[in-house]
Structure formats: structure tokens, C-alpha cells
Amino acid sequence: MGSEGTLATILRAELKLMPTVKQKSMVVLGYDDITEAADAVPTILQHSDPIVLEGVDSQLIYFEAAEHIGEEARALLPEGAGWLLVQFGGESSEEADRRIDELLEALGRTEHDAKVNFSDDPAKEDQMWKAREAGLGATARPPGMSDTWPGWEDSAVPPERLGDYLRDLRELFHEFDLGDPSLYGHFGQGCVHTRIPFDVVTAEGVAGFRRFLERAADLVASYDGSLSGEHGDGQARGELLERMFGPEIVEAFGEVKALFDPRNLMNPGKVVMPNRLDEDLRLGTDWDPTPYRTMFQYPADDGSFTRATMRCVGIGNCRSQEGGVMCPSYMVTKEEEHSTRGRARLLFEMLSPHEDSPIKDGWRSTEVRDALDLCLSCKGCKTDCPVNVDMATYKAEFLHHHYKGRIRPAAHYSMGWLPLLARLASRVPRLVNRALSAPGLSTIGKRAAGIAVERDAPDFADRTLAAWWADRTAGRTEPDPRAATTVVVWPDTFTNRFEPHIGRAAVALLESAGFDVVIPEASVCCGLTWISTGQLSVAQRVFRHTLRVLLPWLEAGTPIIGLEPSCTAVFRTDMPEMLPDDKLVERLSGQTRTMAEFLLERAPEDWEPPQVRRKALVQTHCHQHAVMGFDADLELMRRAGIDAEVPDSGCCGLAGNFGFENGHYDVSMACAERVLLPAVREASSDTLVIADGFSCRTQIAQGDTHRTAVHLAEVLALSLEEQATV
């Protein structure tokens, strides 16, 4: 395996498996510095046999805190500025705990020491490991600092010499004016991870990069260590192998290579006869990308879409085969181009100024378009990716440029302009519903509109939420926007024109808590459908109209409640990222709340939600997971006596317009069949199915489940009515 593909291709391998550990316990040991923690590794290995021994320094923890990563884990750290995470296993929890006790006794510590934190709670241990695993993401783009790069990211030395090696490595950092990069890693094996702020775009910087690696190679060799303890040598360190092995052994490598691969076809330029380590850099001295004018402003990326596409550092969390929200299309297709990483790489190549970039036609690229086609725009990567790649935004930006001045796919008109079409349809809803369900006619209409023929069009409501509200409040004086009890319920297109009963339920619930509700009379929209189809100029015009309608309440600071998670997320993140300097947008983002957030924050102290006392299977909307979070909803359900089960289902697969578009039906349903739909079918008949997203409810209804999913507002309002009649 150490030949790294330079000798042969492995077609089949026999693996020796180890039994899994039944029970685990972990102790976190604090030290004054990471080098002191490294000094303790030999003693720990001498007195115990941990299954994991990891080192984490204060720099990594600082970066994670600045990026709001692993907040729960940081609370579990004992005192110190460097830590060792030591995990033991056993047939029972008592056995694992005993091994920790024996280690602490050997170290002269107890579990009550300020620099010790012992845990046999799997949930807490999982939090600690997630914080450790986030290391690469947290150190890739340290806030307020230069970007960091690989090159010397996994050197290794004998564990008994690790502390001294780290001290010498730090001195080398300082000699080259590289600051104090984070040092962490698999300390039990003597392997150190770090990312270093090299200058890789100027000739002087690249020369310094080379000199540093040569000096670092000499340093690790002096410790009888390895240039790479985990990732491999390849081209990045192949040129340095002679410093570690000497010329005779490197010459022998070449002789073996000649026997296996005399024509140098297998992974050429790596390990044996390697290319120079400062050639073929991702950026390099000819890096001079075109500063494109974009619709989103990328405030977290210095206003640069090119820089945004460089966020991905190849960690690969988006290639998860099960569990989590990211990345639904990859979970179904198992193709790299359908992962967040694959798409980010294609976008980077599209914008790259290098002459050897495989993508030559820029924004018009069909390769990039096809890779993005199966992106569901779920925004899972915005939160779950360690470096917060936001592929939904990147896709919208690409579609805007790709189709600029050109005819778009039919679905971009039928689904992208849905708010306007729905407004027209609501004038004669019954007639439209009959036409949409008529055999033959509906099929022709779907094909013309670019809609999957397998999909059923949702029915338009006989009466919109806005019409109901106008009748209900006729002759009333509108509440003062400045009053503490005034709240605006946002009439999104889906609630207003398809499921107004959800809006009515929310009004009832908010009024029961003592609030005076307002629903804007003007026809409004958040612009979501235009964003997801890349019609960003239209989306901006919709934003401006929305801001004009909401102006009195924005100026007064009135809370605005979103019932549809995807629309709420537009106000919280998409609109500010497109118009970051607009003060009204800033207000709207700050004043927008989910219903659960608002009730937990603003309801009177003596208010209690109506008691439901039912079990519920709950589908979290992807945009809520990514932008607002779901903790408030879970807490509100807990207070309402709802025993909530939240399956690790990820995206429902419908994802707004995605699952309705022609060519997406199979992937859409495959996403749903992974976890969500089987869970709904298996739920008992007396278990509620709760899904706040219109797409989620529609997918469940059309997924052969024979169940109707409901919004949390409906559940609470129904219980409110039942309590009122008792």
C-alpha cells in the first residue's frame, strides 16, 4: 500500500478485522501547553493501552470558538492550554472505567482534579470527538488570519520524542515568520496535524514554502520520524524522501518501480522520480483569477465567489453514506461529482485562471451545470461541512450566470415564477385544481412546464390566508407596530395559497399567548423560488418590494414570524448575503423568528403551550437545520408534552422545486426512501407526523405512506381548541 499506486492496481485484498469495543470511556487531561501534553504521551503508553490517544491545542480550540464549532465540547474541557483525549475500551463500562482509574493513579491525578475530565457518557464523548474531527475545517481558514495550506500536515515521530519535536517545529515556524499554527493529531502514534499560512501565490513566497519543507524534512529525519504519518508522500513530499531514507534506498525504489512499471504509467511523478514539490500548486505564482461581478456578495469570503469556491479542503464529510443532512444526492448516486466536494472542485476549476484547467467555457460550462443539476439546494453543507461550503448559494449564482441572456429550462419558469402563477390561480382555484388533476390535460401541462409526470400538483386553497384575514379584521384598527404585543405573521406563498389553515392555526396560537397579530395585506413573497432557480435579478426586485411592504414594522422593530422554514431562512441568510449593506435587510434578518423561537423568547412567563401528550415522528426541514436550528422547536414540543422522535433522515428529497422538475423524480424519491418514508410507514397510527416544511409534507403525502403530515402550529392549535371545549 505504501507504493501509493505507483507499482500496481489492487483489485482484491484480504483484510484482517478486529473485534469492536463494546464499551468505551474517556478521560481528558489538561496541560499548560501542547508540548507538555506531548511529553506525557510516553508515560501514558507505558502505563496503559488506550484505544485512542489524541492531542488538541488551545489554538485549535480558539479557532473553533471563533467559528462556533463544538460549543458543547469546549464546555467539557478541563483547565489547560493543551489536552490529551484518552479513550479506553472494555467488555463492560466498569472495565473501561477501571482502566482510566489505573491511568490516573499512575499519573498522580484523580478525576476530581481541575485538569481532568472523566466521562463514560457516549453523548459527551461524541461531542469531544466531533470537536477533534473538526480540526481541519477550523484551521483551514482561521478568522482574521491568512489562509493555511497543507504541505507539512501529517509528519510523525516516535511518540517518546514528540514533545521535543513539537518545540523544534515551533522554532522553525518562527524562523520562517509563520506564526503559531495549531498542533494537534494522533499523539499516541506520534502523528502531528497542522496547516501552515504559506504564501503560495508569489515567487518569493513559493521559494520560502520550498525552503521550509526542506528544513522540516531534515528536522523530522533527525528524530527518526516520517515525512507523512498518514496521508502519503505523493508529489508533495516525494522529492524529500532522500532526506529521510538516503540516496541508496531511494535508488532502490526506482529499481523496483522499473521492474513493475517500466513505462512509468502508474501514477507518474509521485514517490519515485517525483515532480518538484513546488510545481503544480493549486494556486501558484500565475494565480490571478478574474474578479467576477456576482449577485450574492459573499461577505464571509471577502466578496469573492472565487474565494468562496476555495473553501473546500477535501475533508469529504459530504461523502457520508448514511446519516446527517449532507449530501443527499451523493448518498443516492455515490458519485463524486454529486458530492459537495466534487461540485466545489468543479466550480474552482471553472474559475481558475490556469491554462491547464479542464473547464474551458466558464459560466457556460455544461460539466458544471450537470454536476449541479442534482444538487437539492438543501443547504446541509452550509452547516454540516466543516468549512461551511454553501453549495445552494453557489448553485443559484452559477445558474444566474449560466442562463443569463438565454432560454431557461421550462421548470425555471413554471416553478421559479410559482408565486406569481399561484397568485393568478388563486382567483379561480377550483377551476385550476380540476385542470391540474384532469387525465391527459394534466400530463400535457406537466410536460410543457418541465414537471415530472409522476408528480401530483398540490391543490390551491378555496380561500387564501390573506382573504380570510381581511374578512376577520374588517373594521378593526391595526395594532400599533411599536406595541410590545404586536407580531407580524409572514404570509408565504405556500401557507397563503395552498395551506392557509396553518396560518390560521398560528394566529390562534399566538393570540392565545397574548399577542396581537398582523398579516400584511399586500401580496408579498420572500423570493425563494427565484433564488433556487438562479433568477437572482428577479429575486432582488422581490426583496425590494418585500422591504417596502414591511417598512412600518421593520422601523418599529416588530417581530416577524415565519411559518415556512425555507422562506424564513431567506430572510435570515440569503437576503443578507445578497444585500449585506442594506440596513432594512439587516433589520429584517434580526427581527425574523420561527414560531417556536418567538414563543420561547417572547411569550409571557405564565404562558404554557397547550398540552398534546402524543408521540410524534418529526421531520426537520433542511433549511431550518442549516440556518435557524431546531432546538427551539424541540423545546416547545417538550413543553407541550410531545414525545418527539427525530429520525436521522436528512433531506426529504422534494426540496422545493427540485423533486418536481423533470428528470429528478427518481433521485428525489430515493432520498426519501433512504430513511424518511420507511419511518413514516412504520410509525403507529396514533403517532403524529410533524413536518413544518411544505415540501416535506408534500413528499410524505406523495410517498405512498397513507399519512398526512402536519405543521407544529396545527398540532398546538388543535390541542388549544380541545382544551377550550373541556
Q: Which of 378, 402, 426 is the last residue of a domain?
A: 402
What's the one-letter identity of residue 83? W
Could you report the per-residue pLDDT of 675-707, keeping only the tens digit for each?
999 999 999 999 999 999 999 999 999 999 999
Handedness of CA 602, 603, 604, 605 (dihedral sign): negative
pLDDT interval class at 634 (50, 70, 90) = very high
pLDDT band for position 169 (cuts 50, 70, 90): very high
User: Using DSSP, how many helices (H) and how many strands (E) does the chain show?
Assistant: 36, 11
Give the C-alpha separation, 132 to 54, whole Å: 8
Q: What is the CATH number of the domain that holds 369?
A: 1.10.1060
Q: How confident is the model at residue 504 (pLDDT cuts 50, 70, 90)?
A: very high
Whether 485 is in a domain gets the answer no
Q: What does the pLDDT read at residue 256?
A: 94
Is the pLDDT at 1 greater than 80? The verdict is no
Name, in order, each residue with C-beta under 8 angstroms of 476's C-beta and a sequence gap of 6 or more.
none
User: pLDDT, tens digit, for every residue of 255-270?
Assistant: 999 999 999 999 999 9
Contacts of 549 (CB under 8 A, 6+ apart): 520, 522, 524
pLDDT of amino acid 190: 97
3-state secondary structure of 581: coil
What does 418-448 look like in DSSP terms, one character per residue? HHHHHHHHTTSHHHHHHHHHSTTHHHHHHHH
Last residue of a domain, one of 358, 386, 402: 402
Q: What is the DSSP string of 308-360?
A: HHT---S--GGG-SSSSSS-HHHHHH--GGGSHHHHHHHHHHHH---TT-S--
pLDDT tens for residues 83-137?
Answer: 999 999 999 999 999 999 999 999 999 989 999 998 888 888 888 888 888 888 8
Mean local confidence (pLDDT), 461-477: 94
Query: Of 123-132, 186-195, 243-252, 627-636, which gets the smallest average pLDDT?
Result: 123-132
Residue 677 maps to a domain: yes
Residue 331 included in any domain: yes
- Output the CA angle 173-174-176, nearest 5 degrees: 70
Whether residue 69 lies inside any domain: the answer is: yes
Q: Which of 374, 402, 430 is the last residue of a domain?
A: 402
pLDDT score, position 189:
96
Domain of 367 in residue numbering reads as 299-402
Is the predicted pLDDT of residue 36 greater than 90, yes or no? Answer: yes
Q: Identify whether 544 is part of a domain.
A: no
Query: Does 538 reside within a domain?
Result: no
- Whether 407 has a pLDDT exceeding 60, the answer reads yes
CATH number for the domain that contains residue 687 = 3.40.50
In a domain, 210, yes or no: no
Distance CA 421, CA 400 (A): 21
Strand order in the sheet with 23-31: 52-57, 82-90, 23-31, 116-119
Number of domains observed in the structure of the chain:
3
Question: What CATH number is given to the structural domain containing 118?
Answer: 3.30.70.2190
Structural domain includes residue 559: no
